[in-house]
């Protein structure tokens, strides 16, 4: 495994060479390597958790926010979950070689579209050590080599996780450069990684707007943005209000520092007077800071004087914290317009008893994942049965939503004939 020894171009070239071997591996070999990875994560848990504790201590001293510290933290339960996800990925069908479709031309030529690996995938990420393993497992299952570039925040965690994973899969027969890690923290290093044309086939960033801006400035290789999540819950006039309370609380409170947590609550004016005093009280009891428009304040009852006024900026903000913006709207159409104006295209939810409202919402809302009577917190590759995810794409070309093994493949046309020539 390359780790802060070889240069970025040398690391990328080694990964490209490894990718050519990975593309031809049989499913049994890849699956055995992934199972070895999962076993090693559990066997070396003490070593991994000790490294993570060093990062947590440094993060606390550096003043990282509670949300960032939550992303950074590993414990026995989380590590066991990561190992379990690797085993789930190993059990998935191998996408490589799968025939997507095929047909026979009038001249007898058989044409098939067949899944193939992308080649070398680089993942750039911040403060999420689980990404080191999730992304490595997904890339190896789909026949890709991976180059990881974590942040200095998770330096020790990423280093030991990559070392453990690489040693395990190499012992199972995979190329040594199947998993590579570059140190992280150096902007010149990021620029080099993003300009390896013809060597790195795709870069996937997982991080804030600064990381995305840096890649947009420098990248000459394709980028698939695992985008931010400015997610909404809309409570329609026909909603079951008990369900609406439970969904709103779960979407905001269950884990506020992740990209599928709700950041704005929209409420139909017909139920605002009944619903808002109840839900805002429960949100406040859960420690949520509430930023409301004038109509929401007027409908909030005894809480009105204690609520902050929402600004234009609030509607467009992904808080990653226990903060929620609240707005009253007069129709499903108005809710959809607000979401399409301010949302990031990640995950949006409607709580409704109306088939017409449900259909309008799922048809018109421009997002990768749209929910009816369910929390936005379900947007996750593991929850969707994909084992894990590299991220959630809000783009519309190549992949959208959770990025799993199939999204890490391309395809080629295979044409088989019996001597046909074109006249």
* Lowest model confidence (mean pLDDT) among 143-147, 232-236, 310-314, 419-423: 419-423
| CB-based contact 387:37 (threshold 8 Å) | no
CA distances in angstroms from 188 to 182, 214, 363, listed in the order given: 12, 10, 43
Residues 231-247 as b/e (b if ≥16 CB within 10 A, e otherwise) read bbbbbbbbbeeeebbeb
pLDDT for residue 142:
97
pLDDT for residue 304:
92
Q: Share the mean pLDDT of the chain.
A: 94
Helix (H) or strand (E) holding 392: strand 392-393
pLDDT for residue 160:
97
Residue 387 gets the label, from left (phi > 0), alpha (psi -120 to 50) or beta, of left
Residue 122 has pLDDT above 50, yes or no: yes
Residue 227: band (very low, low, confident or very high) from pLDDT cuts 50, 70, 90: low
Instruction: List the structure tokens of 379.
Output: 């947007």
pLDDT for residue 153:
92
CB atoms within 10 A of CB 58: 16
Average pLDDT value for residue range 275-298: 97
Alpha-carbon distance 78 to 82, whole Å?
6
Strand partners, 111: 103, 415
Residue 79 has pLDDT above 90, yes or no: yes
Residue 290 has pLDDT above 70, yes or no: yes
DSSP secondary structure of 165-213: HHHHHHHTT--GGGEEEE----HHHHHHHTT-TTT--EEEEES-HHHHH
Give residue-wise pLDDT tens across range 156-211: 999 999 999 999 999 999 999 999 999 766 778 889 999 999 999 999 998 777 78
Alpha-carbon distance 66 to 399, whole Å?
31
User: What sign has the CA pseudo-torsion 207, 213, 214, 217?
Assistant: positive
Strand partners, 101: 113
pLDDT for residue 165:
97
Which CATH fold would you assign to the domain 8-226+390-416? Aldehyde Dehydrogenase; Chain A, domain 1 (3.40.605)
Average pLDDT value for residue range 62-90: 93
CB atoms within 10 A of CB 209: 10
Instruction: List the structure tokens of 6.
Output: 């070889």
Residue 4 has pLDDT above 50, yes or no: no
Can you give the residue ranges of every domain in the chain? 8-226+390-416, 231-378
Is the CATH number of domain 231-378 3.40.309.10? yes
Helix (H) or strand (E) holding 328: strand 323-329
- Provide the whole-model pTM: 0.86
| CB-based contact 29:172 (threshold 8 Å) | yes
Residue 212 has pLDDT above 90, yes or no: no
Average pLDDT value for residue range 241-267: 96
């Amino acid at each position: 495994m390359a780790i802060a020894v070889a240069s970025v171009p040398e690391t990328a070239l080694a990964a490209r060479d490894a990718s050519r071997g990975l593309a031809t591996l049989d499913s049994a070999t890849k699956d055995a390597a992934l199972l070895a990875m999962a076993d090693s994560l559990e066997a070396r848990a003490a070593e991994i958790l000790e490294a993570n504790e060093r990062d947590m201590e440094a993060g606390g001293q550096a003043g990282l926010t509670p949300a960032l510290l939550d992303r950074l933290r590993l414990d026995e339960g989380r590590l066991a979950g990561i190992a379990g996800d690797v085993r789930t990925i190993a059990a998935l069908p191998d996408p490589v070689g799968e025939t997507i479709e095929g047909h026979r031309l009038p001249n007898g030529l058989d044409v098939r579209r067949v899944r193939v690996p992308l080649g070398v995938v680089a993942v750039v990420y911040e403060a999420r050590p689980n990404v080191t393993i999730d992304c490595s497992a997904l890339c190896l299952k789909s026949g890709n080599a991976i180059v990881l570039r974590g942040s200095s925040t998770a330096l020790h965690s990423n280093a030991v996780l990559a070392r453990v994973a690489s040693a395990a899969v190499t012992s199972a027969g995979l190329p040594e450069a199947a998993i590579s890690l570059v140190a992280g923290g150096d902007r010149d290093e990021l620029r080099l990684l993003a300009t390896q044309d013809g060597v790195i086939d795709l870069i996937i960033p997982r991080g804030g707007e600064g990381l995305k801006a840096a890649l947009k400035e420098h990248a000459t290789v394709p980028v698939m943005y695992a985008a931010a999540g400015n997610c909404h819950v809309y409570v329609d006039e026909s909603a079951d209000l008990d369900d609406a309370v439970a969904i709103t609380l779960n979407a905001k409170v269950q884990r506020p520092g992740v990209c599928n947590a709700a950041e704005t609550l929209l409420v139909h004016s017909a139920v605002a007077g009944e619903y808002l005093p109840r839900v805002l009280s429960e949100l406040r009891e859960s420690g949520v800071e509430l930023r409301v428009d004038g109509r929401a304040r007027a409908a909030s009852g005894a809480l009105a004087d204690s609520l902050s006024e929402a600004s234009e900026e609030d509607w467009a903000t992904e808080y990653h914290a226990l903060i929620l913006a609240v707005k009253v709207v007069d129709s499903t159409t108005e809710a959809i317009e607000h979401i399409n104006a301010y949302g990031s295209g990640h995950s949006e939810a409607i709580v409704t008893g109306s088939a017409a409202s449900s259909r309008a919402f799922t048809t018109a809302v421009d997002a990768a994942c749209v929910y009816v009577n369910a929390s936005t917190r379900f947007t996750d590759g593991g929850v969707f049965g994909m084992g894990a995810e590299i991220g959630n794409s809000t783009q519309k070309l190549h992949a959208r939503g959770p990025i799993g093994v199939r999204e890490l493949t391309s395809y080629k046309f295979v044409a088989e004939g019996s001597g046909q020539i074109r006249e």
